[in-house]
Structure formats: structure tokens, C-alpha cells
């Protein structure tokens, strides 16, 4: 008898069961039957015959882009496996000692099993703070479900690491800026357990605290800063004598007991500083010399350094170890010193060796010898150099003129390989790898007042990168520094390159809503171009378009339309109507017709622009997205809401995938989509997006920026409309 037969029998014999006082048996059958139904329902779910309804709705539940569709897919629990995240670098094979600190970092007792542990490892440079964190993490990796290593040197490195984390943890990033992604990561950590997150090289508590999560996990921070309130901190000093001796014996591969005297002497001379011990050990092993020879050389160089006052006394020991290595390397492979003199002025991490192929034909040999002496570390094509090594290299160049020459060499090298091409999206990631190095060089350019064409070039290119990323304040700073250099090296104040800088600075003012300042720089640009290039030059037309954009922003539509057509006629005359450069005129003229209510004319020009952009730039370019957005705005105005959403979501999808979630244009998309939702009667979703757009704009540009005020007006109108 199967369950169906049992069920039928109970129904047919219900009365006889009661009469026979067999109610217990009856109850048993009923319970069994209920269990049967429950079991069958479970089977159906497992087979996918039924799908559970979710009470959670996506903020933009009608979006058609791929990311959201994938996010809304119902995934069985057993498939939602998050791979174990572990990006902690390997620890040194020669790590020695520090047992007291390692044992204190994490105590597995019942009181701490369900709480957050936050600890700081702090101390001066070169004592091995990062190595201790790596050693602890690698030795205890089985205790944690996830291990995260965050380069906390600055905001850029933290952002890069956080974006890698969200990918591994399957955290949804759609419609979220970096602050929201940070909160998503913190929420995930709060709701999960047994994780370790290491913030390496954090500057101070105020900088790092906004990134620190809560929950059942373990945070380790390494820092040179000693001021950490309310956090369990461990001061890391130099190694104990016994630890230092053990380290040297392992590094050099010597019998400790047979060489104890020399090992003790060397450890003592080096002040038991791990980084100095590492350098000395690598040198002795590489040159296959005995310790006493090295000590004699060290004492000679150490005295010289003190006399010449190249470095501060506290850094003398470690400086001496490197000086010894530098001199031997100079004999063995002189080009290696030239290479070090260049990278000393770059950012310390992610230095791509491919950049140096043209300048150093034997770059692989150079990298190998520097690795052999433990002066650099390598990962694939990228190398890193300790900041203290950079400091000693720079301090060893006493003559300021020589220092300046080395900086200019680094600038010239970067200028040959660094180029930002805003129209080629695929190159943006490669471009971003240069930015920390240009940032570093910019400091030296300002410090040494370097006035060269190459210096102006790399700073201007970095400004264009920041401008494309929507970081207009930083773009302005870089553009302005480039202008200062150009004004000093160019004898003619009316040089086209000066005009280019004026135009770039004007663009940053325009983007930030400072229209009067923007117009001032645009007019300066036009004055130079009309004088030097003439009224019939393509760049003169660019200036016309820029000035017209200011008039349009100020509401002077007829004035704007006249100058836009002036640019259009000029470009059509010198380039032809099918040339890509004319696309800006199509866009600008269409925008004025749009605000004037001449929608048919506006659409005509917008679709002309779109046709050229899709052919020249492709359908996934931010400039193409801008045209999708403009067309969507007209469809929204004339009541074609489905078409409006189609174009708005095309624009949003491109902006999210190409520009990133922090770009200001993302907010424009939110605002526009919210407007359509409101017109469709989807008021809840509309208000949600309006509010999100307003908060993002206020945070990025301030409450008085024209775009912020525009969204605020939309919210006020929304509230009045739906009281």
C-alpha cells in the first residue's frame, strides 16, 4: 500500500475507525499523510516545479540590463557557494622570532569566539610589521573562512582592493558608489564569521576607521603611527639578539654555532633591524663572502655616511647596508644603479618592467640582480621597492642638480609611454596604472620647479584622466600645474598649447557649475585660436561649441543656438558633414531645440549624432551613452515612457560598466529614470531614485551645484504633487 492508497483507505473507513475506538490509528494516518504532502512539496521545489515568491524587490525592477537580470534569478541554496577569499601575500621563508606578538594576535577562547577583535601592529619602518601580519595570516589560514589583505596606503589602493573583494563575495554593486560598496562589504562581514582582514600600512586612525567593519571577525592594522585609541596595539621594535642571529644564519645558510661570534657582531652592528639584516644577508650570500669582510666594509661606509650627513643617524645602519649593495651592484652591472635612480622617484608599488624595455635592453638581468640583493620584489611584470630603499637612494644623491636630472629622466621615460585616450575605453585600465607614478613625479616637479615639455605633458594627461573619471577638482589641479609650466617654457603667451590648457581648465569649471569662470577661460582660448589658427580652424569651432554650452547653461538659448550653428557651419565647410568631429555640433544643436520644445528637430540632430557615435566609438562608449540619455529625455517629455526607459537604461548600463559607480553621470541616469517612473505612476521607486541622486550629488559637488539644485527641485515638485 503506497501513500495514496493509505490516504484513500483512511477516507473510506473514517466512521468505522471512530466506532471502533481506533482514533489513535486515525490520527497516525492523518499525521502520516500530512508528512507525505510536505515531502512531495519539497521534491517539487528541488525539481524546480515550483518557485518561491520573494518579498524583496529590486529598486529598478523593470531594468533590462544583464546585471540586474542575473541578480534576480532564483538560485537554490546549495548553488550559492562563495569561494574562499585569500589574497594575503606569502610570508618570507626566513621569517624568524616574534613569537610573543604572533601568539598575542589571536587567542581562541570562548569569550572571543563571537566578538570582533581589532589589533594594531605599529612601529618604525623596516622592523617587519607587514611580515608579521603575513606570517600570522599564512600560519592560521585554516582558522578563517576568508582572509583579506588590503593595501591601506591611500584611498586609491583601498578602492582597488575593495572592488576585488565584492567580486569574490558575489556582492551586488549595481547602482552603488564606493561608499555604498564599502557599507555592503561591512554588512557582509557583520553577517558572516571567521574572517581576517588586514589593513597594511594605514596612515592613521582617522583615515582608516571608516573602512573598519564590525561582526565576528579579526582585524589587523599595520602602521607607523602610534596613536590608536581604544584598540589593542603592539609596538614592534627591532629583533631580539637571538632572533637576529637566527635570521642571519638562515638567510646566509651558515651553521649558527660555528659562526656565532661573527653572526653576533653583524647583528649588533646592524642594530637588529630586520630590513638591514635582510639586505646584509642577501649581499653576503650573493657575493659568497665571509661575515668579517662585510663587517669591515660596513664600518668604512658607515663612517663615511655619518661624515657626509647623507641620512639621519637613526637610518644610518640600514642606509649603510644598502650602500654596500649599491657599490657592488655598480661594479657588477652599472645599469642597475641607473634603473634604481629612476624608480626611486616613482610610486613604490606596481612598477611595470615592460616600461623600461627601450631604455634598458637587459632589463631582465637588472631585475634578477636586484632581486638577488633583496632590493626589490617581483610579481609577474610588476616590481615593488621598499620606501626606505627609495629614501636611501634619493638621500645618497647629495647634489640637488643631480637629483633633478634623475627626476627628469624618470619624467622623460614616463612621457614616452603614458598616453590617455578618452575615446579608447579599453586603454583606460592600462592608463590608470601610470597615475600613482605621475602623482609621485608631480610632487618632485613642484618641489624642484621642473619646467620641461615632458613634465607638462604627463601632468596634463593625468588631468585628462581625472576629468574623464569625473574627479574635476583633481583634474583642475593637474591642468593648472601643466599651464604654469607651459607659461614658463613657452615664449609666446598666445601659443596653441596655452589655449589647450585654458580650454581644459574651462571644462573643469563648467563641469562643477562655475559658468562665469568657465566662460572666462573659454574666451581666452578662443582669442588665441582666432589669432594664431584663424577663424576657419577646427579648434576654433571647438571653442565656439564650448562657449555655446555656457550660454545654454545660463538659459540664453538663442545666443547658444547661433554660436552652435556657427561651429556647425564651420566644421561642415572644412571637414564635411560625415566627419566625426561634427558630432558635437549635432548634439549641441539638438540640446537647444530640446529645451525650446522643438522635439522633432531635436531628435533629428540627436539621431545624427548617435549614428556617427555608434559607427566611430561603438555602442558601449560613454559618449554614446550621453546621446542615448538625450534621446531618452525627449521620449520622456513627449510621453513615450517605454522608449524613454529603453534609452535611459542603455545609458546607465554603459556608465556602470565603463565609468564605474562613482561617476557623476550615474546620478544623471538615476534622476532621469526616477522622472519616468513618476510619470508612469511608480512613485515609490521614483522617490527612491530621486533621493539617491540628490544625496550623491550633494556629497560630490555640494548642495549649491546646479545639478544638485535641479534634482532638489524635482524632489520638491514630487512632494507637492503627491501630498
Question: Radius of gyration of the chain from Cα atoms?
Answer: 33
3-state secondary structure of 91: coil
Measure the CA–CA gap between 600 and 623, rounded to whole angstroms. Answer: 22
Residue 585 C-alpha cell reads as: 555640433
Q: Are 223 and 204 in contact (CB under 8 A)?
A: yes
Low-confidence residues of the chain: pLDDT under 50: 1-4, 7-12, 14-15, 17-20, 22-26, 28, 31-32, 34-81, 108-111, 303-314
Measured CA to CA in angstroms, residue 118 lies from 157, 228, 233, 383 at distances of 21, 11, 9, 31
DSSP result, 300-363: HHHHHHHHHT-S-GGGHHHHHHHHHHHHHHHHH-THHHHHHHHHTTS-SS-EEGGGGTTT-TTH
607 closest CA partner among 577, 581, 630:
630
Measure the CA–CA gap between 60 and 67, rounded to whole angstroms. Answer: 12
Q: Are 150 and 198 in contact (CB under 8 A)?
A: yes
- 388 exposure class (CB count in 10 Å sphere: 0-12, 13-18, 19+): buried
Measured CA to CA in angstroms, residue 519 lies from 300, 412, 507, 555 at distances of 64, 34, 9, 14
Measure the CA–CA gap between 203 and 224, rounded to whole angstroms. Answer: 7
Burial 597-609 (b: 16+ CB within 10 A, else e): eebeebbebbebb
3-state secondary structure of 118: strand
Give the HSE-up count for residue 41: Cα atoms under 13 Å, Cβ half-sphere: 8
Measure the CA–CA gap between 140 and 629, rounded to whole angstroms. Answer: 51
482 closest CA partner among 507, 456, 447:
456
**The pLDDT of residue 677:** 84
- 257 exposure class (CB count in 10 Å sphere: 0-12, 13-18, 19+): exposed
Measure the CA–CA gap between 27 and 376, rounded to whole angstroms. Answer: 78
Q: Are 153 and 222 in contact (CB under 8 A)?
A: no
147 closest CA partner among 81, 91, 83, 84:
84
Amino acid at each position: 500500500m503506497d501513500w495514496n492508497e493509505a490516504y484513500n483507505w483512511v477516507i473510506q473507513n473514517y466512521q468505522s475507525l471512530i466506532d471502533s475506538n481506533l482514533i489513535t490509528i486515525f490520527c497516525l494516518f492523518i499525521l502520516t499523510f500530512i508528512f507525505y504532502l510536505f515531502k512531495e512539496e519539497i521534491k517539487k521545489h528541488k525539481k524546480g516545479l515550483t518557485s518561491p515568491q520573494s518579498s524583496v524587490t529590486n529598486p529598478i525592477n523593470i531594468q533590462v540590463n544583464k546585471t540586474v537580470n542575473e541578480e534576480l534569478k532564483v538560485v537554490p541554496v546549495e548553488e550559492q557557494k562563495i569561494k574562499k577569499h585569500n589574497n594575503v601575500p606569502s610570508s618570507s621563508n626566513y621569517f624568524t622570532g616574534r613569537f610573543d606578538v604572533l601568539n598575542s594576535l589571536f587567542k581562541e577562547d570562548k569569550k572571543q569566539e563571537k566578538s570582533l577583535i581589532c589589533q594594531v601592529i605599529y612601529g618604525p619602518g623596516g622592523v617587519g610589521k607587514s611580515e608579521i601580519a603575513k606570517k600570522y595570516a599564512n600560519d592560521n589560514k585554516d582558522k578563517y573562512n576568508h582572509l583579506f589583505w588590503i593595501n591601506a596606503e591611500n584611498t586609491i589602493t583601498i578602492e582597488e582592493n575593495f572592488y576585488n573583494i565584492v567580486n569574490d563575495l558575489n556582492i551586488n554593486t549595481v547602482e552603488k558608489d564606493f561608499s555604498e560598496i564599502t557599507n555592503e562589504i561591512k554588512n557582509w562581514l557583520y553577517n558572516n564569521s571567521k574572517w581576517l582582514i588586514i589593513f597594511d600600512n594605514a596612515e592613521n586612525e582617522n583615515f582608516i576607521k571608516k573602512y573598519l567593519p564590525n561582526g565576528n571577525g579579526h582585524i589587523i592594522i599595520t602602521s607607523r603611527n602610534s596613536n590608536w585609541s581604544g584598540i589593542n596595539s603592539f609596538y614592534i621594535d627591532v629583533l631580539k639578539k637571538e632572533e637576529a642571529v637566527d635570521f642571519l644564519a638562515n638567510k646566509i645558510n651558515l651553521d649558527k654555532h660555528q659562526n656565532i661570534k661573527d653572526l653576533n657582531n653583524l647583528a649588533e652592528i646592524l642594530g637588529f633591524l630586520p630590513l638591514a639584516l635582510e639586505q646584509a644577508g642577501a649581499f653576503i650570500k650573493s657575493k659568497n663572502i665571509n661575515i668579517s669582510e662585510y663587517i669591515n666594509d660596513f664600518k668604512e661606509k658607515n663612517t663615511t655616511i655619518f661624515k657626509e650627513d647623507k641620512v639621519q643617524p637613526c637610518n644610518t645602519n640600514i642606509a649603510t647596508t644598502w650602500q654596500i649593495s649599491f657599490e657592488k651592484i655598480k661594479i657588477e652591472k652599472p645599469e642597475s644603479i641607473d634603473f634604481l635612480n629612476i624608480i626611486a622617484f616613482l610610486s613604490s608599488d606596481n612598477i611595470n618592467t615592460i616600461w623600461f624595455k627601450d631604455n634598458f635592453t637587459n632589463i631582465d638581468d637588472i631585475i634578477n640582480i636586484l632581486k638577488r640583493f633583496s632590493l626589490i620584489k617581483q610579481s609577474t611584470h610588476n616590481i615593488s621597492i621598499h620606501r626606505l630603499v627609495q629614501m636611501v637612494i634619493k638621500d645618497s644623491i647629495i647634489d640637488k642638480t643631480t637629483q633633478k636630472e634623475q627626476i627628469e629622466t624618470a619624467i622623460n621615460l614616463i612621457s614616452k609611454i603614458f598616453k590617455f585616450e578618452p575615446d579608447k575605453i579599453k586603454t583606460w585600465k592600462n592608463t590608470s596604472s601610470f597615475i600613482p607614478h605621475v602623482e609621485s613625479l608631480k610632487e618632485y616637479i613642484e618641489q624642484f620647479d621642473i619646467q620641461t615639455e615632458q613634465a607638462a605633458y604627463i601632468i596634463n594627461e593625468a588631468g585628462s584622466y581625472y576629468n574623464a573619471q569625473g574627479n574635476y577638482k583633481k583634474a583642475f589641479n593637474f591642468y593648472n600645474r601643466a599651464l604654469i609650466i607651459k607659461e614658463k617654457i613657452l615664449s609666446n603667451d598666445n601659443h596653441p598649447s596655452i589655449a589647450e590648457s585654458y580650454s581644459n581648465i574651462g571644462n573643469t569649471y563648467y563641469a562643477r557649475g562655475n559658468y562665469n569662470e568657465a566662460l572666462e577661460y573659454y574666451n581666452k582660448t578662443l582669442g588665441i585660436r582666432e589669432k594664431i589658427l584663424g577663424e576657419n580652424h577646427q579648434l576654433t569651432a571647438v571653442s565656439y561649441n564650448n562657449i555655446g554650452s555656457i550660454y545654454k547653461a545660463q538659459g540664453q538659448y538663442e545666443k547658444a543656438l547661433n554660436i552652435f550653428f556657427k561651429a556647425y557651419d564651420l566644421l561642415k565647410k572644412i571637414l564635411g558633414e560625415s566627419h566625426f568631429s561634427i558630432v558635437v555640433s549635432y548634439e549641441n544643436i539638438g540640446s537647444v531645440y530640446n529645451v525650446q520644445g522643438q522635439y522633432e528637430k531635436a531628435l533629428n540632430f540627436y539621431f545624427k549624432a548617435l549614428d556617427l557615435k555608434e559607427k566611430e566609438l561603438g555602442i558601449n562608449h560613454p559618449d554614446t551613452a550621453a546621446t542615448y540619455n538625450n534621446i531618452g529625455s525627449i521620449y520622456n517629455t513627449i510621453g513615450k515612457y517605454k522608449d524613454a526607459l529603453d534609452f535611459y537604461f542603455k545609458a546607465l548600463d554603459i556608465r556602470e560598466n565603463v565609468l564605474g559607480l562613482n561617476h557623476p553621470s550615474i546620478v544623471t541616469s538615476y534622476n532621469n529614470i526616477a522622472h519616468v517612473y513618476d510619470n508612469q505612476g511608480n512613485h515609490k521607486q521614483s522617490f527612491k531614485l530621486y533621493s539617491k541622486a540628490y544625496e550623491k550629488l550633494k556629497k560630490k559637488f555640494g548642495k549649491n551645484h546646479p545639478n544638485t539644485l535641479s534634482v532638489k527641485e524635482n524632489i520638491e515638485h514630487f512632494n507637492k504633487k503627491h501630498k
